[in-house]
A and B are shown apart, each in its own frame.
Chain A
Amino acid sequence: MTRIMNGARVFKSYWLFALLLGPLMALQGCQAPPTSAPVATERSSANSGSTPEWRPTASPQAAEPKATPAPLLSGTHRCAPAQAGAPGQPMICVRLATEPKRGQIRVVTYTNSGPGAPPSDIAAALDSRPLRQIRREQLQQRPIPMRAMVVLQLTEQRMPGLLAASVRSLVDVVFLSPQSTMGIVAYERNHRIVEELPLSSKEVVLARLAILEKRPANLDGPSFSTSDAVATALTQMSSQLQDTEAMKFIVAISTGADDKLTDEKKRTFANFAVNAANANVVFDWIYLKEADAGKAPAYVRDLPLRTGGVFFESTVDELRTKTDTYAQLLRSLQVVDFTLNLRRAEDPERERHRLVVGTVAPPQISVPLDVIVSLQPAVEPTTPPPTLANTAPVKSSARRGSSDAIWWWLTGFLLLGVVGLLLLPSVHEPARIAFWGSAAPLPVNQALTIRNMSTHEFSPSLGRLVAEQRRPPTPRPPVEWMDATPPGQNYVAWLLALDTGRVYYLDKLDITLGNDPACTVYINGLAPAAFRCRFYRDPNSRQTAIYPVDGAVVEHRGQRLTGPSYVFDQDEVRLGALLFRYFETRTVL
């Protein structure tokens, strides 16, 4: 009965364990909800703590069929139309860029099933006129607010009119939405920041610009450069409240020449790119250069791209034109229409893709987001450039579908079933013997068993029972041969320790016993301190004499020895705490 109860208890805990572990394993396999978009997962992993910017209102499954556009997001993307590639080669059909959220979009690869034509879903998405119209109307009614920080590099003289006009054009674009705010960080190269205006309204910005235009040259102060100025701007922007509905960007109009000088500035830029991505801020750069100068350094060009921004190279003469182009880009952001298609890849090995396509209002500006459309035969997707978006690790669990949960359940229950079977006494014991062999059975201590609870009759004491139980014999030979004759002698002598039963043969003419490691024969337990006693065979008298060494307590025939004394056969000798008996026998008759 007890065994049945134990088995029931084991099964009870087993099923509880199974019920608890199963959902845990299932949750482990489905960490990424199948209804969430992979881009949103990446975004949340890349920018933890911030509100996910992708807010899909429909699941990828709900986006089927392929050409059905998903609900629009908080309009933050601008796109260029597709460009046809050579047949059989990967075709870059869409380039998308310069906005914080698009920087997190992964490069998607579509495999075209038709001969030489863009996928139907892309074409349908591009021709989704009604959807665009709806979106445009919505945007016109509620323009997207912007949070912009303008970094200006001032000359050592007064602000030139060309630069002031360019900034004013940017102000006009940014404040298309009355909710937009703008800040200014103006610095003198190699000198100091002369203006640090946090995000403010249009009136404040224009007033501060007017002051900047009239300010005299000021050459004192610490050294500043573009990297320091944009870092200051980022700090200003990060200190503001997080506004997920607005587009946040920093635009710098500067040469950045001082930043090319030292590697320290490069490291500053590298930190800035990471901090900007974490703050969900895009950095755009209108890079001023000399007319005869070459291309900007690679790390300068890469900095805006790493944050999802755009990079314009411009001479002073081209500044107004480039600024106008950039302003139009900003303007298009507020009126752009785009569609978001969520579709499941035909290849089950691939992830669900998110495709963003659309058009921008003229003039069209091409900004980088690669959507590669390949023709048959399928071409392996090219490796995406190392951006912040695609370098974010994707959890393997995010690739699993809903069927993986069933797999986890089955695996968990199978594992628990095996464990449960092993817990069964009828299975456990043979398995244990098969794997680990049979151990010696533990003796049942019957003495501790209560025989009768009512009469309190107990079994006999433990010592009695141990004495009654037969124990296996000590694995020691019953006869041990010893050649204990000292060299050249015809006798054998030995000491028998009466307390321990050990026998110590005196197989030498001069032998020292004791608990000191230097002794010839080591005997443990003689005394707490060092103890030595010498047994010496006198060759003349043919008698064995005993010598206590260093005041060792040696008793012979009940008397303590203070000097040497002969010892004879069957004499009792006490060495310290142990009592010995001396034996001596001639080996010749």
Chain B
Amino acid sequence: MRGPNTPNAGDVTLPASSGPNSIPDLSEQVQSLPTDSDSDKSTFYRGWAWLVLVETRLSPAPPGRVATLQPLVKSCILVGSHAESCDVVLASGRISREHAEIEFDFAQGQFWLNDRNSTNGTHVRPPGGSELRVIARQMLIDGCQIRFADDAEFVFRCFAQKAAKP
């Protein structure tokens, strides 16, 4: 079930809204992103995302079942096998050092998956759809499955909410 504020893939223009906001101000990031109109400058999204591990052949296994992504802390989450540079570290020989990245678009409240020229590829299966390999940039919606090479498969959960720029 999708809530009224959950953005869809085609949402471009969104009405302005306001409410209590205890998270850091990210207005500067809104301004840094390209927007179509001036009215979009007054709104931005804040989002939450989770990667629920459903299948893995990693050794060692990830430290938990659920990885909570913090787009407000870092808008671009890098996934790979390199522990020093990646935010989600998947220790496997088939996973590239910098395999893919999950990016949050604050202006439109959408999550995107970018494959960073990984060797064994990144695959996305939307809910009710078929799996496809991410070539360059793929939008992520709530409930889609992400497979990094053949070693780790996650269910991507996300939620974005409009917030007004002060």
- Listed stretches A139-147, A263-271, A448-456, A471-479; interface member: A471-479
B65 at interface by CB-CB < 8 Å: yes
In chain B, residues 20-75, which have Cβ atoms closer than 8 Å to a Cβ of chain A?
A: 20, 22-25, 27-28, 46, 48, 50, 52-55, 62-70, 72-74
Cross-chain contact of B66 among A468, A476, A505, A572 (Cβ < 8 A): A505
A14 at interface by CB-CB < 8 Å: no
A568 at interface by CB-CB < 8 Å: yes
Contact A585 B70 (CB under 8 A): no
* Most A-side CB within 10 Å, residue of B20, B155, B157: B157
Contacts of A463 in B (CB 8 A): 166
Given contacts A478-B87, A498-B161, A570-B2, contact A586 B54 (CB under 8 A): yes
Q: Which residue of B lies closest to A475 (CB)?
A: B73
Q: How far is the CB of B61 from chain A (nearest CB, A)?
A: 10
| A488-503 interface bits toward B, Cβ cutoff 8 Å, 1 = contact, 0 = none | 0000101010111101
Contacts of B161 in A (CB 8 A): 498
In chain B, residues 114-166, which have Cβ atoms closer than 8 Å to a Cβ of chain A?
A: 142, 145, 153, 155, 157, 159, 161, 165-166
Contacts of B74 in A (CB 8 A): 473, 478
Q: Report the Cα distance A484→B62, complex, angstroms.
A: 13
Contact A473 B73 (CB under 8 A): yes
Contact B20 A499 (CB under 8 A): yes
How many B residues are at the interface, by size bracket?
A: 35 or more
Contact B65 A587 (CB under 8 A): yes
Cross-chain contact of B48 among A471, A483, A496 (Cβ < 8 A): A496
A588 at interface by CB-CB < 8 Å: yes
Q: Report the Cα distance A466→B166, complex, angstroms.
A: 10
| B86-104 interface bits toward A, Cβ cutoff 8 Å, 1 = contact, 0 = none | 0110000000000000000
Cross-chain contact of B46 among A473, A478, A501 (Cβ < 8 A): A501
Contact B70 A581 (CB under 8 A): no
Q: Report the Cα distance A572→B161, complex, angstroms.
A: 13
Contact A589 B55 (CB under 8 A): yes
Contact A570 B1 (CB under 8 A): yes
B3 at interface by CB-CB < 8 Å: yes
Cross-chain contact of A492 among B52, B63, B88, B165 (Cβ < 8 A): B52
Q: How far is the CB of B27 from chain A (nearest CB, A)?
A: 4
Contact A479 B87 (CB under 8 A): yes
Contacts of B3 in A (CB 8 A): 570, 572, 581
Q: Which residue of B lies closest to A463 (CB)?
A: B166
Q: Which residue of A lies closest to B52 (CB)?
A: A585
Contact B77 A478 (CB under 8 A): yes
Given contacts A481-B66, A499-B20, A581-B3, contact A467 B77 (CB under 8 A): no
Contact B65 A501 (CB under 8 A): no
Q: How far is the CB of A524 from chain B (nearest CB, A)?
A: 12
Q: How far is the CB of A287 from chain B (nearest CB, A)?
A: 95
Q: Which residue of B lies closest to A471 (CB)?
A: B24
A434 at interface by CB-CB < 8 Å: no
* Most A-side CB within 10 Å, residue of B27, B46, B68, B165: B68
Contact B24 A483 (CB under 8 A): no
Given contacts A467-B25, A500-B22, A572-B3, contact A587 B54 (CB under 8 A): yes
Contact A583 B23 (CB under 8 A): no
* Most A-side CB within 10 Å, residue of B20, B24, B48, B69: B48
Q: Report the Cα distance A476→B71, complex, angstroms.
A: 11
Contact B67 A476 (CB under 8 A): no
Contact B52 A587 (CB under 8 A): yes
Contacts of A478 in B (CB 8 A): 69-70, 73-74, 77, 87
Q: Pick the 10 closest A-B CB pairs, nearest first.
A: A481-B64, A478-B74, A483-B64, A467-B27, A481-B63, A570-B1, A585-B52, A479-B87, A480-B68, A478-B73
Q: Could you name 16 residue pairs across A and B whose Cβ atoms are closer than 8 Å?
A: A468-B27, A468-B28, A476-B73, A479-B69, A480-B68, A482-B65, A483-B63, A492-B52, A492-B65, A494-B66, A499-B20, A499-B22, A505-B66, A570-B1, A581-B159, A583-B159
List residues of chain A with CB under 8 Å of any chain B CB. Answer: 463, 466-468, 470-471, 473-474, 476-485, 492, 494, 496, 498-501, 503, 505, 568-572, 581, 583, 585-589
Q: A473-B73, A484-B66, A499-B20 are in contact. List 6 more A-B contacts (CB 8 A).
A: A467-B165, A479-B87, A480-B70, A482-B67, A570-B1, A586-B155
